[in-house]
Amino acid sequence: MSKTTLSLNQNYFTSEVTKAFLIDFENACMTMELSAFADLFKNYNLEFIEDYREVFDMIAHIMTSWKNPGQVSTLLEVTCSDSKCIFCYIGKAVKVYKWTYRHLNAEPPMNRVVYETQVGFYFGYNKNQLREFGVCNAYIK
């Protein structure tokens, strides 16, 4: 198992809970705020899953690395697209989130530069139940 993957037993999420989790996950991704992911993991009791800490720490790194303290990093836009993994799980479906941002208090002209970064997540299902969730290594910068 990858250190960027959570594996869930077949009874952990029902299909209804899976649907709710995916909606809440999408909402967290649209904010790109670590607190949204912390709440998500807590609300769905994912902190009790093996490798939780490694997966959460990876997400924490991604969600905080784009911010530059003191320069007022501002999220401009988040887009989502479907892709395929080209690294660990070649061909596995991946949801890729790209976001653009600026550092408003940076020295001119750097305060006008628009930066972009991305992250990919994959989900494994069995009978509409979430069984696997992870960060795609191919999209980690």
How confident is the model over 37-55, as pLDDT tens digits? Answer: 999 999 999 988 888 999 9
User: What is the pLDDT, as a whole number, of residue 91?
Assistant: 81
| 8 Cβ neighbours under 8 A, 6+ residues apart | 49, 130, 131, 132, 133
Instruction: Judge contact between 96 and 79, C-beta under 8 A.
Output: no
Where the chain has pLDDT below 50, the residues are: 1
Whole-model pTM: value is 0.88
Q: How far apart are CA 98 and CA 116, in angstroms?
A: 7
How many domains in the chain?
1
CA gap 130, 10 in Å, rounded: 8
Question: CB under 8 Å to 58, separation ≥6 — which residues?
Answer: 3, 4, 135, 140
